Amino acid sequence: MSRLTILMFALWPALACAPALGQDKVQGAVAEFISLDSVREIGTFQITNTSNKDITAYSVARTVTFQNGKTQWSETMKDWGPSLEALHPGAVEEIEVNVKFPNVKATAEVTAVVYADLTCEWSDSAALDRIEGHRRSLVIMDGIWVEAIKAALADSTNDSPGAKAASIIRQRIPIESQKAGAIDAGVIPGFMEERAKEVEHEPKEAIRAGRSERDYLGDRLADAEKQYQAEQKCAQIRRQP
């Protein structure tokens, strides 16, 4: 399962208050729009890692000012989590976003970054809160994944532990979605359904490997526990003074 998460959402409607940015800007990364396509209503901004450390998550606040004077704010959050991927020092990446026209100006500003060593910078504490909240949600989801496999394997009378684990995970989707924050409530169902499908398809993988489903799922449990531990560590972001 891919760990990369990219979330784009409107946080502040037109004429509302802009995000409460702190006085200090993030020093480890910069962002700017490099193109605006009025035909496709697409804008492209680039973010550059100006630090000497890998960036594993960031948030970029986008501001669009229209010809009628109204302003719209939105945010892009990207998180690689504990995967080996990251935005390396000096690296540049481009991201396309929807931009409404006609407008007279579009700007982008990095509001939070998390580094591979779990230190961070932010100019908007709410943006960093959203990154932290997202990582905590993933810890919960992977914990459910581990619990479901354990429960399925503990039932020695069940000949289809993969199907049972998938059922347990799916039962928790509406519960966890309700408990999650506004941003992750839309993310949790997709992540958990993907986990359910993984364990649901274990019988086929076991047959290909010439093993019993129960033994094969036992090995997958070990992988799930490693992923869970990695997510737990990844969620322990260290806020600098």
Displacement of CA 60 from its chain's centroid (Å)? 14
- Decide if pLDDT at 23 tops 50: no
pLDDT (average), residues 59-81: 89
Residue 99: phi and psi, rounded to 5, are: -135, 125
Q: Are residues 31 and 85 in the same domain?
A: yes
Among 68, 73, 64, CA closest to 20: 73
Amino acid at 239: R
- Angle (nearest 5°) at CA 82 between 88 and 136: 125
Is the residue at 241 inside a domain?
no
203: preceding bond cis by omega (within 30 degrees): no
- What would the pLDDT profile of 190-217 be if each residue is shown by its tens digit? 888 989 998 888 777 777 878 888 888 8
Q: Are residues 19 and 97 in the same domain?
A: yes
**Which tokens is 88 given?**
């390396």
* Predicted local confidence at residue 2, as pLDDT: 46
- Decide if pLDDT at 12 tops 50: no
Q: Are residues 119 and 136 in the same domain?
A: no
Q: Are residues 91 and 135 in the same domain?
A: no
Is the residue at 217 inside a domain?
yes
Percent of the chain with pLDDT over 70: 88
* Residue listed under structure tokens 């000012």: 65
Is the residue at 31 inside a domain?
yes
Percent of the chain with pLDDT over 90: 46
Q: Are residues 70 and 146 in the same domain?
A: no
Q: Are residues 203 and 137 in the same domain?
A: yes
Q: Are residues 85 and 17 in the same domain?
A: yes
Q: Determine the structural domain holding residue 153 and report its residue range.
A: 129-234
* Predicted local confidence at residue 41, as pLDDT: 87
In whole numbers, what is the pLDDT of the chain averaged over residues? Answer: 86
Distance CA 221, CA 142 (A): 11
Is the residue at 228 inside a domain?
yes
Reported as a pLDDT band with limits 50, 70 and 90, residue 138 is confident
Residue 132: phi and psi, rounded to 5, are: -60, -45
Q: Give me the helix-helix angle, 213-234 and 188-200, nearest 10°.
A: 150
Number of domain units in the chain:
2
Is the residue at 62 inside a domain?
yes
Is the residue at 119 inside a domain?
yes
> Which among 98, 123, 148 is the end of a domain?
123
* Predicted local confidence at residue 38, as pLDDT: 87
Q: Are residues 25 and 113 in the same domain?
A: yes
Is the residue at 239 inside a domain?
no
pTM of the model: 0.83
Q: Are residues 134 and 92 in the same domain?
A: no
Is the residue at 103 inside a domain?
yes
Amino acid at 64: V
* Residue listed under structure tokens 């909240």: 133
Q: Are residues 119 and 135 in the same domain?
A: no
* Predicted local confidence at residue 22, as pLDDT: 52
Highest mean pLDDT among 99-103, 136-140, 222-226: 222-226
> Which among 90, 123, 156 is the end of a domain?
123
Distance CA 66, CA 74 (A): 14
Q: Kindly state the helix (H) or strand (E) to which residue 78 belongs, with its residue range.
A: strand 71-79
> Which among 65, 96, 123 is the end of a domain?
123
Q: Are residues 18 and 72 in the same domain?
A: yes
Q: Are residues 37 and 54 in the same domain?
A: yes
